């Protein structure tokens, strides 16, 4: 699946969860105004579940938007934050000791 499609699906689910939570709050207000009975414990559990869903979806959306950066970290790469990416493994000593000195410049902390 394309990245844009997944992001669109996550955003759709995020907005749907927010809409359902708002609908629940509006329903609760209407029942209170009309003096009706409702199951407060069930309603509170529903709200907590929706808030959890929303926070998890927000996290997934942030992660997916930063997918490239996360993959670089997981793939043993380093970057300078300006689009330059290097392998952490030094080509001379074959150890994971490469460090970013400044944008565009890396150096092995072992070899110098």
In this predicted structure, the answer to whether residue 9 has a pLDDT above a threshold of 80 is no
d(CA 54, CA 58): 6
Enumerate residues 6+ apart whose C-beta is below 8 A from 22: none
d(CA 34, CA 14): 31
Q: pLDDT tens digits, residue range 48-101?
A: 877 887 777 778 777 777 777 777 666 778 888 888 888 888 889 988 899 999
d(CA 63, CA 68): 9
Model pLDDT, residue 105: 92
Question: What's the chain's average pLDDT?
Answer: 78
Predicted TM-score of the model (pTM): 0.39
d(CA 109, CA 79): 16
Model pLDDT, residue 1: 53
Model pLDDT, residue 101: 92
- The more confident residue out of 103 and 48 is 103
């Amino acid at each position: 699946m394309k990245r844009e499609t997944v992001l669109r699906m996550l955003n759709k689910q995020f907005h749907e969860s927010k809409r359902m939570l708002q609908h629940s709050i509006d329903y609760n207000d209407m029942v209170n105004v009309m003096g009706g009975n409702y199951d407060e414990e069930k309603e509170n559990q529903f709200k907590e579940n929706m808030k959890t869903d929303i926070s998890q979806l927000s996290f997934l959306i942030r992660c997916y938007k930063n997918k490239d950066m996360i993959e670089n970290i997981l793939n043993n790469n380093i970057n300078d934050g300006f689009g330059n990416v290097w392998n952490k493994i030094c080509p001379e000593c074959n150890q994971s000791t490469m460090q970013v000195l400044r944008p565009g410049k890396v150096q092995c902390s072992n070899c110098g």
